[in-house]
Amino acid sequence: MMKLAMENNLSETAFIVKEPQEYHLRWFTPGTEVELCGHATLASSFVIMNYYDPNSSEVHFHTLSGELIVHRKDNLYEMNFPTYELREIPVTDEMEGAFGVKPMKAILGLDLICVFENEDIVRNMQPDQELLMGIEGRIQNVTAAGRETDCVSRSFAPKLAVFEDPVCGSSHCQIADYWSNELGKREIDAYQASKRGGYLHCEMIGNGRIAISGKATVVAVSEILVKL
């Protein structure tokens, strides 16, 4: 699986195995296995509910993050994910050096969340990938309040051999949680401002869980022919 993920060279490759009552799901970046990946979970549920079990409206996955459940709601796929304990940490010179702009605030959970003054800073940022390797977090996220959405964010993951994640669900388990507390809103509409970009609808549902909804699109149907 690691070799296939390296060959694909995408931010994550998902591997699914059918079990009696659910599916076993694992995720790999080109550099390592990860414990949670949102957009690869959404893609996996899309494949199952459209190609293998088209009559189903719900999929249960057994993963390193426990049981994950995905519901189909019209053309959206809603994922039920765990949140993470977040704590504010000092903004450092290393963070400013890595991002090229000093964050207003830094929050640490599983990943680092650096908050900036406005979304233009986030959209135009060109961080130093080598310097990102030296600061906190599995993934280094940058975010700001949005003009048309509640927040705008980007996710960089050089520690996982990923330059930039196009739309990161696991990071939004933390980003949406942060903005929910900041804005006093249970539901957060988020935009990931990567080159590909994507919208996420996030809802805090209590008991340390978050529902994240998004759309999926088939890009290719392929066969693996090479022996690795």
Determine, yes or no, domain membership for 149: yes
Determine, yes or no, domain membership for 227: no
Q: Please give the mean pLDDT across all residues of the chain.
A: 94
Q: Are residues 22 and 96 in the same domain?
A: no
* The predicted structure's pLDDT at residue 228: 61
Q: Which domain holds residue 29?
A: 2-74
Q: Are residues 110 and 45 in the same domain?
A: no
The CATH number of the domain holding residue 148 is 3.10.310.10
Q: Are residues 196 and 103 in the same domain?
A: yes
- What stretches of 80-118 show up as alpha helix (H) in DSSP? 93-99
Determine, yes or no, domain membership for 221: no
pLDDT tens digits, 150-199: 999 999 999 999 999 999 999 999 999 999 999 999 999 999 999 999 99
Q: Which of 100, 101, 166, 175 is nearest to 137 (CA)?
A: 175
User: Residue 63: beta bridge partners?
Assistant: 66
- CB atoms < 10 A from the CB of 58, how many? 12
Q: Are residues 38 and 133 in the same domain?
A: no
- CB atoms < 10 A from the CB of 180, how many? 20
pLDDT over 80 (residue 226): no
Q: What gap in Å lies between CA 189 and CA 179, rounded to an integer?
A: 10
Q: Are residues 97 and 51 in the same domain?
A: no
Determine, yes or no, domain membership for 225: no
Q: Which amino acid is at 181?
A: N
Q: Are residues 101 and 208 in the same domain?
A: yes
Determine, yes or no, domain membership for 59: yes
Q: Are residues 93 and 173 in the same domain?
A: yes
Determine, yes or no, domain membership for 94: yes
pLDDT over 80 (residue 227): no
Q: Are residues 51 and 105 in the same domain?
A: no
Determine, yes or no, domain membership for 81: no
Q: Are residues 57 and 167 in the same domain?
A: no
Q: Are residues 100 and 47 in the same domain?
A: no
Six token digits for residue 161: 């051999």
Q: Which of 22, 51, 65 is nearest to 222 (CA)?
A: 51
- DSSP code string of 170-208: HHHHHHHHHHHHHHT-SEEEEEE-SSS-EEEEEEEEETT
Q: Are residues 172 and 64 in the same domain?
A: no
pLDDT tens digits, 88-113: 999 999 999 999 999 999 999 999 99
Question: Which of 74, 101, 132 is at the close of a domain?
Answer: 74
Q: DSSP 3-state assignment of 69?
A: strand
Q: What gap in Å lies between CA 105 and CA 37, rounded to an integer?
A: 25
Determine, yes or no, domain membership for 186: yes
Q: Which whole-number Å values give the CA distances from 81 to 46, 92, 162, 184, 196, in the listed order? A: 17, 30, 22, 20, 23
Residues annotated as part of the active site: 12
Q: Are residues 136 and 53 in the same domain?
A: no
Give the largest CA-CA distance in the chain. 54
Q: Which amino acid is at 34?
A: V
**141-171 as b/e, with b when 16 or more CB fall inside 10 Å?**
bbbbbbeebbbbbbbbbbbbebebbbbbbbb
pLDDT tens digits, 129-157: 999 999 999 999 999 999 999 999 999 99
* Total structural domains within the chain: 2
